């Protein structure tokens, strides 16, 4: 910060590549407003800068960087004065700002201490701490903002106090709730640094570091606080300091005049989350050097390192002709990977991992002193303060070379974690693999080499020369995962080689188990069996993952040459080569295994291909599988079914072809005629004499039209003499005569009678068929006349006279006398019924003639005021017609109406009217035409007869004017 305040804030440039920038860069911070005083103390936290001026004023500056990096930096500043003058309370000696920038504690040269909250502009005196010269503060790890919660104060007289400060607006209430002395450093050395961090196990644990000029103490234990503390109710650290014995690290040749300080790094910032580096670091500056390490265990000093002063570059000055080496370290702080130190006015950055100096830049003028080298723990920024200037130490990608350090230290996991880009990762992987191979750990080396660019041939030859086939297998697996999909040839070759290695390993393990040998001195047969299962599982995982990289023909050849049946079938199954698996088991006549494979398939072609052989040798199991398939065409299975039926010597009840066909017929939505014909063929050609199965099938099918080929079925049944089936088919075809004749031909009169009754609605045919049955029945040897007649009574169409011609010439009439008498009685009753009908007809005719004769004398009475039902004019005004229904019409009105709806008679009526209009007609002819015309016109009442029915669609109101009157 220039005192004239003429320039703007200089922000780190982000335009250059990270690797092209120095790892650190010291930049002067310049503000626009002038400050006409020197700085006596400075603190920075959470982008807030607090400066104590020599005038006794305190300046609080907000360092939030503007979004526009090119815009002038004009930070907002707050000017704060202490409540009393410097002459009364002394000059400001030290300031302490918590990491959240919420709490500020000011200590003066006369032992006065003040507290300032971020939301206040008036510092409050800490009366309970009056006279206490505060040298260091350990803020509460939870970083509270409303109050300080429990904090530790280190003093110049070696005492450590615990206090709890909470801002208060009440005048009589003190800011500090309590002040308790909890520990005193031996020899009353000033406590130049103190830190309190959460413990590694429980929330109530604390890790406390206490630093003096010559010693560093480490306390770790449970405090007296609950999970949420005591909320100012009393000390929580007293129990820790009383109960725990500290670990102590003592510096050599301690000096109270040499600069000394203690710093603890921040928690992970946003830019480093998730990189595995989670532990906090500490650094203690003493006369011996900088002692630093991780706060990771209960004994952090065991693995800590000492950066001696000799590590830091020293300046040379001539004194009396001699060269005097000086390197006083005046201040230090911690960045993420480096120790930053102020050495003789130079900012030096030393890598904590390898103690290598990565940055050395002169910043201060000769003889210029610094107020401190501080870290903003919240923002991970680093600041250097002098009495007149402010510098920011900008870290430019400081972890860029961390991977190299880990690589040199052979910490390959850490190096790989921080490696950037493929080249870095490849270098780490190659070195890691070489290191593992040098130690004989070839299997682990193979996995690492497989991800590196180390030469393929070199790695493979190394493995082969050392006979590390397991390691070679691991390497090839890793290498295969690095090839691109487009590298088809390389992937196939490596994958095929892996199959060969797997088969060799499996055979080797099988041989050891078979001979009860041991692979190594420490391996038992049980362990070898476990290893066999592990390798087999590894092979199966490999095939599942890389099946697209395996050439079927090549892999079949490799596995077959080793005789590995299980692996062969597994590969074929995984690659969905079901034809190969089925063919394999069928060739070896392992029918159960073949069916087990088949039941997991759904490709119809597989079933069609292997159905013939499987029906021959495993018909029952195959049919069970076929019945569960819904996408098969039963027609394509018919050859297999017929071949099975030809070779199988089983009854129809056990015939699997019949079982499957019956299932298809019942469950298939539309089985083809070929399926039905096949079932009929199997039934008809069966050596069994029983037709029960065939008849059951035929009777279950519809007869019009039948789903099978009736002609084909009939030929088969005739060929194999399936008489009952033939008769059923004849009946289904409507050929009842042939059916009855065939039944009678085989003396099956009962069946013939059943068929003769089937032509419903055709009594003539039924009678004909029954006559055939009657003839056969009457002429059947051993059949009595009475028995025959009793049998023939089942048909109501037969009469005794129809049967007499079939009886023998010399038959005793007594045998069917009753039937003849019954027939004669029926005839007599029929004659009586006809005579009665004739009498009724004669009576009806006489009645009709009487009514006709009475028509000439019929009349109707017309009232004087009666009107025509068409024109509504008086009826008696001109010639009219009166109908029996009492409707009356004028002759001309009736004629027009009848002519309008006469239909086909219209032309005839007009012709008669035209003849009537001629004057050359004779009177007789004229009377005939008038009579005929009257008959046509007055044939029926137009309101009661057919004419009215034909006019049903005619509207009641035709006149538009009248219609308007009826409108609603």
Query: How confident is the model over 321-359, as pLDDT tens digits?
Result: 444 445 688 999 998 889 999 998 899 999 888 888 888
In a domain, 390, yes or no: no
Average pLDDT over residues 915-921: 75
Out of 235-239, 435-439, 958-962, pick the least confident: 958-962
Alpha-carbon torsion angle 512, 516, 521, 526, nearest 10? 90
Higher pLDDT, 905 or 189: 189
Same domain, 481 and 414: yes
Same domain, 544 and 688: no
Among all chains, which residue has been given the structure tokens 């004017």? 961
- For residue 340, report the phi and psi dihedrals to the nearest 5 degrees: -95, 130
- pLDDT at residue 248, rounded to an integer: 93
Q: Is the pLDDT of residue 499 over 80?
A: yes
Instruction: Identify the domain boundary among 800, 830, 860.
Output: 830
Structural domain boundaries, residue 723: 575-762
Q: What's the rounded Cα separation, in Å, for the pair 200 and 203?
A: 8
In a domain, 794, yes or no: yes
Task: Give ∠ CA 887-890-894 in degrees, rounded to 5.
Answer: 80
Residues 6+ apart with CB under 8 A from 370: 330, 331, 342, 345, 364, 384, 385, 386
Same domain, 788 and 712: no
Q: What's the rounded Cα separation, in Å, for the pair 16 and 13?
A: 7
- Residue 606's Cβ-side half-sphere holds a number of Cα atoms within 13 Å equal to 23
Out of 73-77, 222-226, 489-493, pick the least confident: 73-77
In a domain, 715, yes or no: yes
Banded model confidence at residue 139, pLDDT cuts 50, 70, 90: very high
What pTM did the predictor assign? 0.56
Banded model confidence at residue 800, pLDDT cuts 50, 70, 90: low
Out of 79-93, 118-132, 791-805, pick the least confident: 791-805
Out of 141-150, 825-834, 838-847, pick the least confident: 825-834
Q: What's the rounded Cα separation, in Å, for the pair 155 and 184?
A: 10
Q: Is the pLDDT of residue 253 over 90?
A: no
- pLDDT at residue 94, rounded to an integer: 93
Distance of alpha carbon 914 from the chain centroid = 95
Helices (H), 808-890: 817-853
Q: What's the rounded Cα separation, in Å, for the pair 832 and 792?
A: 27
Query: Which pair of tokens denotes residue 874?
Result: 């008086």
DSSP bridge partners of 180: 162
- pLDDT at residue 810, rounded to an integer: 53
Higher pLDDT, 934 or 185: 185
Q: Is the pLDDT of residue 679 over 80?
A: yes
713-734 pLDDT, tens digit each: 888 888 887 877 787 777 777 7
Q: Helix 785-792 to helix 763-778 angle, to the nearest 10 degrees?
A: 160
Instruction: Identify the domain boundary among 194, 218, 250.
Output: 250
**Nearest partner of 212 among 194, 239, 236, judged by Cα:** 194
Q: Rounded mean pLDDT of the chain?
A: 80
Phi-psi region at 713: left, alpha or beta (left = phi > 0; alpha = psi -120 to 50) = alpha
Same domain, 493 and 516: yes
Same domain, 586 and 673: yes
- pLDDT at residue 448, rounded to an integer: 76
Q: What's the rounded Cα separation, in Å, for the pair 204 and 216?
A: 23
Banded model confidence at residue 795, pLDDT cuts 50, 70, 90: low
Average pLDDT over residues 400-418: 82
Q: What's the rounded Cα separation, in Å, for the pair 426 and 716?
A: 82
Average pLDDT over residues 595-610: 84
Same domain, 745 and 810: no
Same domain, 653 and 720: yes
DSSP bridge partners of 169: none
- Cβ atoms 44, 376 nearer than 8 A: yes
- pLDDT at residue 437, rounded to an integer: 73
Q: What's the rounded Cα separation, in Å, for the pair 711 and 697?
A: 16
814-834 pLDDT, tens digit each: 556 666 667 667 777 778 888
Same domain, 581 and 558: no
Percent of the chain at pLDDT > 90 equals: 16
Same domain, 563 and 599: no
Q: Is the pLDDT of residue 470 over 60?
A: yes
The highest-confidence range among 135-149, 354-368, 464-478, 758-772, by mean pLDDT, is 135-149
Question: Is the alpha carbon torsion for 355, 360, 364, 368 positive or negative?
Answer: positive
Q: What's the rounded Cα separation, in Å, for the pair 17 and 582?
A: 64
* Beta-sheet strand order (sheet of 113-117): 92-97, 103-108, 113-117, 124-125
Specify the number of domains making up the chain: 5
Same domain, 564 and 604: no
In a domain, 789, yes or no: yes
- pLDDT at residue 571, rounded to an integer: 84
Same domain, 560 and 457: yes
Q: Is the pLDDT of residue 119 over 60?
A: yes
Using only C-alpha atoms, the chain has a radius of gyration, in whole angstroms, of 61
Instruction: Identify the domain boundary among 568, 583, 615.
Output: 568
In a domain, 857, yes or no: no
Question: Is the alpha carbon torsion for 622, 624, 628, 634 positive or negative?
Answer: positive
Residues 6+ apart with CB under 8 A from 927: none
- Cβ atoms 769, 740 nearer than 8 A: yes
Percent of the chain at pLDDT > 70 equals: 83
Higher pLDDT, 433 or 354: 354
In a domain, 628, yes or no: yes
In a domain, 737, yes or no: yes
**Nearest partner of 730 among 748, 743, 719, 721, judged by Cα:** 743
In a domain, 207, yes or no: yes
Burial 315-330 (b: 16+ CB within 10 A, else e): eeeeeeeeeeeebebb
Banded model confidence at residue 112, pLDDT cuts 50, 70, 90: very high
Same domain, 820 and 727: no
Distance of alpha carbon 741 from the chain centroid = 72
**Nearest partner of 132 among 86, 163, 99, 167, judged by Cα:** 163
Higher pLDDT, 169 or 217: 217
């Amino acid at each position: 910060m220039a005192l004239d305040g003429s320039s703007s804030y200089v922000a780190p440039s982000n335009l250059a590549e990270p690797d092209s920038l120095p790892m650190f860069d010291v930049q002067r911070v310049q503000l626009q407003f002038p400050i006409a005083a020197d700085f006596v103390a400075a603190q920075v936290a959470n982008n807030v800068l607090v400066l104590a001026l020599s005038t006794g004023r305190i300046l609080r500056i907000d360092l939030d960087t503007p979004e526009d990096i090119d815009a002038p930096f004009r930070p907002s500043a707050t000017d704060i004065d202490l409540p009393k003058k410097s002459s009364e309370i002394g000059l400001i000696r030290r300031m302490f700002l918590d990491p959240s920038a919420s709490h500020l504690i000011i200590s003066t040269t006369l032992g006065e201490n003040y507290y300032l909250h971020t939301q206040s502009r008036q510092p409050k005196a800490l009366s309970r701490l009056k006279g206490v010269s505060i040298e260091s503060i350990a803020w509460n790890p939870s970083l509270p903002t409303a109050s300080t919660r429990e904090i530790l104060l280190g003093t110049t007289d070696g005492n450590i106090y615990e206090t709890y400060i909470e801002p208060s607006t009440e005048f009589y209430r003190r800011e500090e709730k309590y002040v308790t002395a909890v520990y005193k450093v031996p020899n009353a050395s000033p406590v130049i640094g103190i830190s309190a961090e959460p413990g590694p196990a429980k929330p109530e644990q604390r890790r406390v570091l206490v630093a003096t000029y010559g010693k560093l103490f480490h306390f770790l234990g449970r405090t007296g606080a609950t999970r949420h503390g005591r909320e100012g109710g009393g000390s929580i650290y007293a129990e820790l300091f009383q109960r725990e014995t500290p670990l102590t690290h003592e510096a050599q040749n301690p000096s109270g005049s040499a600069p000394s300080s203690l710093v603890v790094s921040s928690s992970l910032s946003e830019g480093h989350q998730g990189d595995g580096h989670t532990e906090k670091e500490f650094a203690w500056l003493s006369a011996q050097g900088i002692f630093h390490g991780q706060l990771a265990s209960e004994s952090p000093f065991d693995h800590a390192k000492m950066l001696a002063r000799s590590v830091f570059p020293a300046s040379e000055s001539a004194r009396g002709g001699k060269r005097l080496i000086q390197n006083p370290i005046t201040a230090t702080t911690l960045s993420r990977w480096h120790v930053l130190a102020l050495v003789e006015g130079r900012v030096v950055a030393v890598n904590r991992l390898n103690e290598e100096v990565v940055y050395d830049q002169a910043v201060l003028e000769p003889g210029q002193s610094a107020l401190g080298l501080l870290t903003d723990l919240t923002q991970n920024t680093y600041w250097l303060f002098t009495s007149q200037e402010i510098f920011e130490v900008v870290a430019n990608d400081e972890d860029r070379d961390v991977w190299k350090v880990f690589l040199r230290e052979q910490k390959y996991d850490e190096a790989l974690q921080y490696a950037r880009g493929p080249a870095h990762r490849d270098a780490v992987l190659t070195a890691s693999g070489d290191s593992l191979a040098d130690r004989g750990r070839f299997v682990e080396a193979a996995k690492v080499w497989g991800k590196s660019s180390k030469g393929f041939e070199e790695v493979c030859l190394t493995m082969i020369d050392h006979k590390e086939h397991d390691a070679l297998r691991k390497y090839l697996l890793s290498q295969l995962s690095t090839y691109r999909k487009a590298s088809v040839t390389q992937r196939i070759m490596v994958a095929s080689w892996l199959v060969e290695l797997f088969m060799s390993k499996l055979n080797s393990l099988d041989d050891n188990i078979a001979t009860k040998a041991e692979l190594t001195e420490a391996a038992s047969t049980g362990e070898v069996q476990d290893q066999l299962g592990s390798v087999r599982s590894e092979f199966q995982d490999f095939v599942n993952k890389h099946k697209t990289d395996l050439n079927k023909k090549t892999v079949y050849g490799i596995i077959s040459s080793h005789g590995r049946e299980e692996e062969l079938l597994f590969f074929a199954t995984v690659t969905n080569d079901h034809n190969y698996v089925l063919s394999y088991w069928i060739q070896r006549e392992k029918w159960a295994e073949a069916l087990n494979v088949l039941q997991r398939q759904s490709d119809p072609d597989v079933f069609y291909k292997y159905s013939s052989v499987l029906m021959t040798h495993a018909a029952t199991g195959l049919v069970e599988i076929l019945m569960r398939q819904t996408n098969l065409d039963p027609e394509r299975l018919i050859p297999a079914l017929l071949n099975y039926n030809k070779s199988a010597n089983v009854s129809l009840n056990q015939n699997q072809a019949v079982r499957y066909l019956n299932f298809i017929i019942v469950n298939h939505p539309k089985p083809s005629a070929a399926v039905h014909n096949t079932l009929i063929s199997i039934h008809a050609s069966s050596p069994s004499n029983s037709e029960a199965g065939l008849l059951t099938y035929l009777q279950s099918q519809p007869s019009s039209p039948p789903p099978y080929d009736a002609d084909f079925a009939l030929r088969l049944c005739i060929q194999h003499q399936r008489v009952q089936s033939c008769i059923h088919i004849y009946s289904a075809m409507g050929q009842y005569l042939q059916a009855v004749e065939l039944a009678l031909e085989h003396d099956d009169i009962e069946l013939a009678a059943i068929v003769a009754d089937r032509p419903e609605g055709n009594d003539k045919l039924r009678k004909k068929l029954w006559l055939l049955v009657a003839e056969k029945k009457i002429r059947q040897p051993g059949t009595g006349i009475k028995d025959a007649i009793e049998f023939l009574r089942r048909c109501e169409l037969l009469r005794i006279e129809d049967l007499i011609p079939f009886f023998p010439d010399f038959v005793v009439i007594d045998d069917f006398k009753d039937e003849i008498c019954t027939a004669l009685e029926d005839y007599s009753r029929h004659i009586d019924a006809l005579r009665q009908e004739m009498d009724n007809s004669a009576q009806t005719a006489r009645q009709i003639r009487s009514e006709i004769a009475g028509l000439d004398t019929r009349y109707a009475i017309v009232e004087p005021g009666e009107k025509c039902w068409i024109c509504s004019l008086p009826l008696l005004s001109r010639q009219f017609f009166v109908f029996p229904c009492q409707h009356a019409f004028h002759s001309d009105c009736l004629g027009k109406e009848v002519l309008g709806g006469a239909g086909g008679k219209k032309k005839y009526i007009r012709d008669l009217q035209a003849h009537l209009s001629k004057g050359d007609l004779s009177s007789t002819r004229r009377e005939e035409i008038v009579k005929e015309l009257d008959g046509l016109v007055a044939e029926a009442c137009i309101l009661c007869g057919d004419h009215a029915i034909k006019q049903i669609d005619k509207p009641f109101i035709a006149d538009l004017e009248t219609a308007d009157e009826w409108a609603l």
